[in-house]
Structure 1
């Protein structure tokens, strides 16, 4: 199948497969886990989670900063700040940055409130000069394929040779973090670690086992998972990679671990149904992209 994807025009991104035009950067094998404080949801009645907090709606959808501060105060875990501190060089004083929109359209106070919580814990500063641009249509109920085809784009000044800590409210597939990381690194900064207040039900099972159980999710694409994509896609690997580079402005090597695991699951799903993966999944990609750029 010759996969042709609708491309949303952007003055900052060239629609080609040249690596200089891509919005994400390569993962380092040593990139740390994305640490989170609480799951998004819980199957246990009264279980500790973000979605059931009484102030969640006001914090997430009504830009209520006081509600967001109460949510963080109730759900944070000291252990997470200990893990972040392992990557903080106080001589360098990294900046804390969150994927926030302009105040006129931003309804979510959680990301910014968590950024200030991290910054105040370590005596750091929040960098509010980088903001996300509304380029694609994507609502709060977007599924994994919608997130793949509608990456968040960013603009604003990056301080060259400066270390950054990326924070967000919820880790779903990690795409927003990966794109913000790409923006910072392509403009001369360095991303040293990432953290979120919560992890969605789709990625929480990927939390690291052992000492950090339910605290860390591997966000950097692993070599084993990338090799698994190559093996399962076979001759279709290059076709899908080219489609991603031209349509979404990042390659399969720039996927997050949860994104790649999702695609591997879709490959297995198509195989069980006796469907050609590129034909079935490709059509869904085109449909999702069309919704995003409409």
Structure 2
């Protein structure tokens, strides 16, 4: 495919795709264009003969392979997608987080989306609640952290609620065994990985300690990482947790899918729900 564009300073522009395929019956469009080495002269060949024109022009010639054309069309669709294109596409993934750096460790906080399962009716049901992922990395030097040694701890929605409700002098702790209730190759690994997260107030009341202890007998790891969180940093965490909590429960998908005209029909179809005000 050949694309030939001619642009004049006055604003006029001529764009021709595959000029060799133009019909000679069209007297207003030249059949061929010859550009001389002079920047101000072009020769146009039309149905009534050859003529020249002295104009300042800028000529851009671009040869596109089928793969390049397909790629260009894909990029164009991303810039200005139509409603039909976006209807069946998932939104692009966006990564966000909040990281706190201190002298002995760093703490990175990231939300993880909930999961949904399709039903035979075509609807979706929440199959797994979202969570907040905490990543603790020990310091490896001045303003340097060893993220290869990071330890992970996932906060459930209930554990998030516990942290949100903490007062200045309150504390809480959570115990996780990732292999509890699981069996792999008929050999239980329950109890071989133990994680304990403690959130305790600082002695002067200026914030909280986040202390993570990990004992992993599978890879012979015994690590304890703690990081002090100031009042301001803790306020950012609490505000972020409050905002993201309904999304971790998937309630935003319900709110976005509910329309006024469908509300009574859906409620009447769900005969298992007995509303108190309907009694």
Larger Rg, first or second structure (1 or 2): 2
* Structure with greater proportional helix content: 1
TM (norm. structure 1) is 0.18
Q: Does 1 or 2 have the higher relative contact order (CA < 8 Å, sep 6+)?
A: 1
